[in-house]
Amino acid sequence: MTAFEPHGLWGLALSHLQARAAMSLMPDAVAINTAISSCPRSVWSIALHLLGGSIGDIVAISSTIAAAEWVLAMRLLSKMRPDALLPNVVCFNATLKATDASGLGAPWQRAAQLLSSMPDVAVLPDVISFTSLLRACEREGRWRLALSLLLSMRQVAVLPSTVTCGCLLNACEFAGAWQTAFLLLEEMISASLQLNIVICNTLISTCEKACQWQSALALLFNTGQFQVQPDVIGMNASLGACGCAGAWASSLDLLRRIEGPARTSVSFAGSVAACAAARQWAWAVRLLLATMENALAPDVNSFGTAVEACSALGRDFWPVAFLDELQFMAALQLSASR
């Protein structure tokens, strides 16, 4: 039976139970628990049926909660309390996971209420409990709540993980809370947590949303101290930060550092935006030409920059072939948007 669980072979697990019943062999708690654990959420009703025929131990209930939809999971958890069988952290974590996976309404509110109720039955949340709520906060950008959870983790002596901090950083990115993100970076370094390229890129993207181009570039050029090599995602986010702030010279310098094949239309668009914001129209023209020379299509914002550049520099500044190409690309963009 245990061979079925890791592979999600719930159909075979149930067939095995039926075969035992046909031979008048009563399945024990281990067999039932394994079958329940094999059931995905899409067949939670089967898991519930198995629970009804089991001895109702803590493992069976936890497995059923994990397989259930969040409404049923909450009911199962609440019904445990009047009985002698009290829920443990595994039951709560399974319910938190079901709540987070529902994606309905405001999962973070239900998860927060559930987490706060754990001490009522003398259950202390662990890093999995906190991470479940942090994931819900992450999707809605509730970085202040996420930050308070980090403080709560310290109070109950739960050490954050890289995944936990990653959820908080994503919430900061959603809200553009770059200062909080860098404070968290310091916390991660102090706790000797392993930084990876995803963490670094999230920090840079947070800077991009807040137009903090200097902080974005400083982090990009110093990822080596974390044994992380910058990639085109982080570079494009840094270019976006430069574009937002009009830091055209730094943008051009970074664009030169990106190797030819790694440059994307996003790379050029960030530099074009920086030049446009600083009214460096000649450079904007050169970058638009370079975009097309690299067989890349300028984005919608770049078309807007081209119109402004035409107005500022005059049509004579532009190669005729480029104007024809620009008109053709604009027509394609228009037809695609309809």
Confidence (pLDDT) at 120: 80
Question: What is the band of 249 on the pLDDT scale with cuts at 50, 70, 90?
Answer: very high
CATH for 167-338?
A: 1.25.40.10
How many Cβ atoms are within 10 Å of 13's Cβ, its own excluded? 24
Total-model pTM: 0.69
- The amino acid occupying position 92 is F
Share of the chain above pLDDT 70, in %: 62
Nearest of 114, 105, 38 to residue 81 by alpha carbon: 114
pLDDT digits (tens, 9 = 90+) for 206-233: 999 999 999 999 999 999 999 999 999 9
Confidence (pLDDT) at 198: 95
Tell me the mean pLDDT in the region 234-260: 94
pLDDT over 60 at 19, yes or no: no
Share of the chain above pLDDT 90, in %: 28
Question: What is the band of 106 on the pLDDT scale with cuts at 50, 70, 90?
Answer: low
What whole-number distance in Å separates Cα of residue 237 and Cα of residue 247?
13
Would you say how long the chain is, in residues? Answer: 338
What whole-number distance in Å separates Cα of residue 186 and Cα of residue 203?
12
